[in-house]
Amino acid sequence: SFSMATSQSILLYGLGSKTTMLTSFGQHLSSEGDVVSLNGYDPKIDLNRFLEYMDLLFCDGSGPTQINPHSSTAKNNIAVRDSNKGLAKKAASIAKMFASKRSRPLFVLIHNIDGVGLRNRFAQDAIATLTTNSRKDGSPMIRIVASVDNVNSAMVLWSPQVVHKFDWAWKKVHTYRPYLEEVKGLPNTESSKKVKKNKGNQKPGAATAILKVLAYLAPRHTEVLQGLAALQLSNSSNSVSYNILRDDCMKKMLTSSDTQLRNIIKELSDHNMMGSEKDDEGIEQTFIPSTIPLQDILDWKLNQPTF
């Protein structure tokens, strides 16, 4: 809260979903000002429409656009709405209007600022512009709190000017929570279509969601999981001893210690993508649940979108 009052934006990063944490933080901030949230992981998100609603809710519709989404005027403005180049200008106008009319700050919570719905430089510039153009008595009236899962892809989106506008205060938070909400809106891939045909004990679509979690895992975790899938397929077995998996990971230089591998296994287990148990002889066995097609895990990178 103090950081945001001094012009900094808050960015949460780390392993695991941060949706619940960010929502809880928003509830805390509601005692200091108004709070709105933006789901960057939603591919259907329309930042242009979001800015218009901000104008209607907080500026009495006196900002740069006053479009009824059901009117013929709105339909005639499709070309304008599709052009991202005016986003930053519109955001600046609304931010200045907000600062002139409001006495309480507005906290904008952004779940996955690197999500597919906001993955372009125009959207990022517009969001950064909201805070830099809403200053009042030296402090921004619109303050940004966001989460990021793929730090590398997000950095590609931010020019030096946008980084300066955000002035991020980076906060490392490892929640190790599954990405349940984030994967719901992701588009189906060929692998997910195959999952629907799989007749396991999980609910329909559960394996689909689990596979989509791969998009949010660290590359090393995915490589370990793919290594286990390859071992299970090559041995035509339902499990692989922990020692064999450890040796394979060491050989491929995926892990350098037993502790590192066990931490990876723990997180994959938390996502229901991997399990371990001891057999009748007391030997620890690792396995991928039968409801997840092993070949889909091995082929996953081929279907990955590029950033």
The tens digit of pLDDT for each residue in 235-244 reads 877 899 999 9
Q: How many CA atoms lie within 13 A of 146 on its CB side?
A: 30
Taking CB atoms within 8 Å and a gap of at least 24, the contacts of 245-249 are: 245/286, 249/224
Q: How confident is the model at residue 181 (pLDDT cuts 50, 70, 90)?
A: confident
DSSP one-letter string for 241-285: EHHHHHHHHHHTTS-SSHHHHHHHHHHHHHTTS-EEEE-TTS-EE
Question: By the 8 A CB rule, do 211 and 292 touch?
Answer: yes
Instruction: Give 3-state DSSP helix, strand, coil % of the chain, rounded to 5.
Output: 50, 15, 35
Burial class (CB in 10 A: 0-12, 13-18, 19+), 118: buried
- Of 175, 13, 19, nearest in space to 111 by CA: 19
Q: What end-to-end distance do the CA atoms of the chain give, in Å?
A: 32
Instruction: List CB contacts of 62: < 8 A, sequence separation 6 or more.
Output: 55, 97
* For range 70-83, the mean pLDDT: 44
Q: How confident is the model at residue 295 (pLDDT cuts 50, 70, 90)?
A: confident
* For range 204-213, the mean pLDDT: 58
The mean predicted confidence, pLDDT, of the chain is: 80
Instruction: Name which of 99-108, 134-143, 203-212, 252-261 the model is least confident about.
Output: 203-212
- Cα–Cα distance, 150 to 167 (Å, whole number): 18
- Cα–Cα distance, 58 to 117 (Å, whole number): 23
Instruction: Name which of 25-29, 94-98, 219-223, 244-248 the model is least confident about.
Output: 219-223
User: Which two tokens mark 134?
Assistant: 């809403």
Give pLDDT, residue 12.
93
* For range 92-109, the mean pLDDT: 93
Look up the pTM and report it: 0.58
